[in-house]
Structure 1
Amino acid sequence: MTRGAEFLKLIAEYISKTKKFERNLKMLNYLSLENGQAKVKFTVTEDHINTEGHLHPGLTTTLIDVLSSHALLVHGDGFSGVSTNIHVSLSQRASVGDLILIEAKVSKLLEPLAFVEVELLRKNGMVEEVVARGQHTLFVRPGLHYSTS
């Protein structure tokens, strides 16, 4: 089993059993988790919208935080980090029924900092529109790598 597959199994198990905040991420369907990249999809439901009927910016920021952290876990030897900065740019609205693809990629690792870029895309047939972009900077302790064992 690849390291990415191991992490997918651990993440899915944790999300399905936890009573903590991450329980709110049960809607995520992981497409891949390998080589410093994480890709997921989900369909926006009533649970994900704000009072105006659009994808809640707080959930958007949470997704950027979580997916960038997961991409970092499968980068190189695997790193675990602590957020130092998250920047979110909102471009388009997403509504109930919209299919959202999220792609996170470690763009640079200059210990003790990791830089991850994330895009949320609304998929409509063959067309993909950017809903939001995020840049996440994480502090990683030099030489500290994450292990599943």
Structure 2
Amino acid sequence: MKLVAIYFLSLLVLVGCGLVKFQPIPDAHNDDSHNHDINSTNNPTNNPTNNPPSNSPSNPPVVAPNNLVTYTIVNGQGSAPWGSLSNPIRGVVGQVLRIVNNDGQPHQIHTPGNPFNHTASIPSNTTMDFPLLRPITTGATNPSTYEHNFGPTSPIYFAVTAAP
């Protein structure tokens, strides 16, 4: 019970400081926005059903014009890696990473402090925003970021560079 109380207090502090923002995701049964491609944020219905999910190697996360990098956790993600060595989640310090959790379970990002501090759990069917604070390139020689609930066997690949 103490652990739950500590978790919620920590989450309240993060939300209160503006470091974490919760945003509900529209109900998939009432809205087609869960099918849109992040490359077409101005036209959410412009995604034929044969396109790969937004986080697949052939369709990497992209930076929207407003400095928002979006990464979608697909339903059934489980312990699968986020990104890959050749297709990491890319960003620049100062941008914001928005994680959209479309999976049926919560996810949590474990970091060593880069590109941001270790996160709270991202509940199912919500989004959270994380300011990219520090550079990091993760990979085979630096497997320091991973899905906290699954451990290092569930890597999260980042390539965050310093602002120009």
TM-score by length of structure 2 reads 0.26
TM-score by length of structure 1 reads 0.27
From the two aligned structures, give the one with the greater helix fraction. Answer: 1
From the two aligned structures, give the one with the greater strand fraction. Answer: 1
